[in-house]
């Protein structure tokens, strides 16, 4: 009843082409941003921020990266984890060599390195498609994972073989390392995610996004419209890997605060993010957030929520139930709604628009 576009006339093309053409959507997004930036840091407990919000934002960013190449351009990639790893290690090396440059700049710059690596491993995409491409990207995953463990230069010859996140500050406040509070880390991460989501939305709503989707939907016709397939696919891979790389750097520096790459950036991580994209909705930015939220929150509820209300659940059981749940969700979505939560959301909005008189 309140979600109506009646009376909102578009007088210019730019108003019509806006990302949120409906006023209520703009209000909604404003409220969400307000909640995320003000209410959660003030009222959220440290536990909530560091176990729910920070992982959610990191995964959203990674899912966005994968969605660009898989959802928008139609190229299946299983190298997400590795590309995230490239970002994390690039950031680590950069901040080791240039400790005086602000870490946020290096987190964003580390995406450039993973973009280059991603474009390199995207080269086979011109010749091979579908599952075969997925296998080719698996090669990237295994090769890079091998590098993370076997090339000691990457982790500065640490005895532990792990990334050790140093303390870095912004305006005198520690934002990475052991001294940074969850709230500061969360706010920095939120800033990065909002910025990158805005940029992704800009790119995907314009010519480049249309190029990606044209390649996805009908590559022959796209070529006929003058789109050169190789540059288009490589751009998609580079952009996707850029996002994954930044997500990986955020993961190490703002969430984990250091750790072993073989745990964080392995093939399971790639699959996990692929599931987020499938459940959230292929080819939808908001779907990335839905998917990340669902797959991130369910394990937490199983792990902490159920024992809190008196259902005893051992750690191992929770993990198994989590696997069962994710598996059945994927089957459910593949059968019932291949476009994921994002499509359900769209349908809901469509229904709301005409409610209570659908005819």
Partner 1 sequence: MNAMNHSEFRQDIAPGETLLAVDNVTLRFGGVKAITDVSFDIRKGEVRAIIGPNGAGKTSMLNVINGFYHPQEGRITYRGQTRSKMRPHVAASQGIARTFQNVALFKGMTTLDNIMVGRTLKMRTPFFWHLFRHGPAMREEIEHRKFVEEIIDFLEIEHIRKVPVGKLPYGLQKRVELGRALAMQPELLLLDEPMAGMNLEEKEDMCRFILDTKEQYGTTIALIEHDMGVVMDLSDRVVVLEYGQKIADGTPDEVKKNQKVIDAYLGVAH
Q: Which residues bind partner 1 (CB under 8 A)?
A: 12-14, 17, 199, 201-203, 205-208, 210-211, 213-214, 216-218, 220-228, 283
Residue nearer to partner 1 on the CB measure, 156 or 350: 350
* CA 294 vs CA 52, 60, 89, 291: distances in Å: 11, 11, 28, 5
- String of b and e for 107-120 (b: at least 16 CB within 10 Å)? bbbbbbbbbebbbe
Residue nearer to partner 1 on the CB measure, 213 or 330: 213
Residue nearer to partner 1 on the CB measure, 19 or 173: 19
- Min CB(226)–partner 1 separation in Å: 4
- Count CB atoms within 10 A of the CB of residue 167: 13
- Min CB(15)–partner 1 separation in Å: 10
- Min CB(33)–partner 1 separation in Å: 18
- Min CB(271)–partner 1 separation in Å: 24
Instruction: Copy the structure tokens of residue 23.
Output: 């006023």
57 three-class SS: helix
Q: How many residues does the chain have?
A: 359
Q: At what angle do helices 229-250 and 103-122 cross, to 10 degrees?
A: 140
Residue nearer to partner 1 on the CB measure, 46 or 202: 202
| Contact by Cβ (8 Å): 251, 58 | yes
- Min CB(230)–partner 1 separation in Å: 10
Residue nearer to partner 1 on the CB measure, 208 or 300: 208
Cα distance between residue 359 and residue 355, in whole Å: 9
| Contact by Cβ (8 Å): 270, 276 | no
| Contact by Cβ (8 Å): 90, 110 | yes
| Contact by Cβ (8 Å): 279, 339 | no
- Min CB(322)–partner 1 separation in Å: 32
Residue nearer to partner 1 on the CB measure, 78 or 214: 214
- Min CB(13)–partner 1 separation in Å: 5
Q: Kindly give, in sequence order, each residue whose CB lies less than 8 Å from that of residue 158, ignoring residues fewer than 6 positions away.
A: 152, 164
Residue nearer to partner 1 on the CB measure, 108 or 163: 108
């Amino acid at each position: 009843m309140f979600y109506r576009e009646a009376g909102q006339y578009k007088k210019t093309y730019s108003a019509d082409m806006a990302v949120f053409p409906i006023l209520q959507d703009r209000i909604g997004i404003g409220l969400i941003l307000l909640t995320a930036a003000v209410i959660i840091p003030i009222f959220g407990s440290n536990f909530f921020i560091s176990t729910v919000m920070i992982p959610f934002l990191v995964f959203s960013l990674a899912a966005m990266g994968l969605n660009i190449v898989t959802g928008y351009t139609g190229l299946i990639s299983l190298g997400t984890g590795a590309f995230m790893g490239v970002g994390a290690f690039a950031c680590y090396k950069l901040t080791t060599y240039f400790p005086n440059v602000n870490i946020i700049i290096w987190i964003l710059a580390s995406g450039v390195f993973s973009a280059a690596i991603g474009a390199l491993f995207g080269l086979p995409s011109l010749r091979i498609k579908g599952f075969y491409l997925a296998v080719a990207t698996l090669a990237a995953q295994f090769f890079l994972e091998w590098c993370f463990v076997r090339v000691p230069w990457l982790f500065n010859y640490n005895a532990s073989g792990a990334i050790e996140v140093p303390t870095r500050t912004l305006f005198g406040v520690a934002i990475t390392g052991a001294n940074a509070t969850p709230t500061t880390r969360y706010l920095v991460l939120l800033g990065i995610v909002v910025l990158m989501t805005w940029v992704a939305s800009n790119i995907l709503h314009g010519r480049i996004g249309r190029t990606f989707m044209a390649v996805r939907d009908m590559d022959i016709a796209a070529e006929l419209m003058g789109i050169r397939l190789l540059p288009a696919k490589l751009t998609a891979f580079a952009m996707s890997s850029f996002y994954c790389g930044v997500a990986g750097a955020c993961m190490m520096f703002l969430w984990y605060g250091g750790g072993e790459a073989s745990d964080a950036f392995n093939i399971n991580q790639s699959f996990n993010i692929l599931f987020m994209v499938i459940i959230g909705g292929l080819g939808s930015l908001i779907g990335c957030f839905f998917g990340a939220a669902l797959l991130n929150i369910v394990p937490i509820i199983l792990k902490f929520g159920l024992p809190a209300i008196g259902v005893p659940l051992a750690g191992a059981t929770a993990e198994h139930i989590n696997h069962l749940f994710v598996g059945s969700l994927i089957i459910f979505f593949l059968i019932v709604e291949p476009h994921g939560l994002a499509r359900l959301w769209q349908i809901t909005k469509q229904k709301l628009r005409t409610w209570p008189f659908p005819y």
